[in-house]
Amino acid sequence: MGEVVAGASMSLDGFVAGPGESGFDLLFGWMGGGTEEVQTAQSGRVLRMSPASAKVLRAQLESTGAILVGRRLFDLTSGWGGMHPFGGPVVVLTHQPPAGWEDSPFTFVTEGIEAAVERAKELADGRDVGVNAGEMARQCLQAGLLDAVRIDLVPVLLGGGVPLFGEFGLDPVRLGTPDVTVSEGVTHLRYPI
């Protein structure tokens, strides 16, 4: 059975975006500067990273069967131009589904986080469900639906911005010992919950 895995590129001081939606060039720089090419599902878009990071990312793409995102990210990226880089089914939690996306990899769920995770699990067909950090990951954490947290820890201090989970108003959540891969410009960590 697949797991529900929240993931993000995060600065060492705990931010997944800098002040005023800045810092993405720094947070995702490790996907752009290396020697190893990783093909995405978007035509013509290739990522370039270190061999160690490519190994981690490829394993992650193979183990992921569906992705869960919020409406904000869907709108911000204009639905990734019709195709998420990951290439598989994407569940979008929203209050009101947009028109014109009926025949697409995107499935819109309006009944809340538990229904969205349930639908993503069906679509993942035994593989993992990837959840973007921020609001969606926080809702999954609060609902007790997360199995693991994957952090790409980037050696930069942003000094402010959007925190990984925000203030989730729960008792502290203990995680297990992480799998760690040290790469150029990023340390990949995967923690079981």
List of residues contacting a copy of itself (CB under 8 A): 11-15, 18, 23, 26, 141, 149, 151, 153, 155-160, 163-170, 172-178, 180, 182, 184-185, 187, 189, 191
Residues paired with 2 in a beta bridge: none
Identity of the residue, 28 or 168, whose beta carbon is nearer to a copy of itself in the bound complex: 168
Identity of the residue, 6 or 68, whose beta carbon is nearer to a copy of itself in the bound complex: 6
Identity of the residue, 10 or 66, whose beta carbon is nearer to a copy of itself in the bound complex: 10
Q: Give the Cα separation of 105 and 21 in Å (integer).
A: 27
Identity of the residue, 87 or 192, whose beta carbon is nearer to a copy of itself in the bound complex: 192
Shortest distance (Å) from residue 162 CB to a copy of itself? 11
Shortest distance (Å) from residue 135 CB to a copy of itself? 14
Query: Residue holding tokens 């000094």?
Result: 159
Q: Taking the CB of residue 57, how many other CB atoms lie within 10 A of it?
A: 20
Q: Taking the CB of residue 176, how many other CB atoms lie within 10 A of it?
A: 11
Assess contact for 109 and 119: CB atoms under 8 A.
Answer: yes
Coil vs helix vs strand at 108? strand
Q: Give the Cα separation of 183 and 25 in Å (integer).
A: 17
Shortest distance (Å) from residue 23 CB to a copy of itself? 6
Residues paired with 179 in a beta bridge: 190
Q: Give the Cα separation of 14 and 55 in Å (integer).
A: 24
Q: Which amino acid is at 142?
A: Q
Assess contact for 6 and 149: CB atoms under 8 A.
Answer: yes
Identity of the residue, 23 or 79, whose beta carbon is nearer to a copy of itself in the bound complex: 23
Shortest distance (Å) from residue 124 CB to a copy of itself? 24
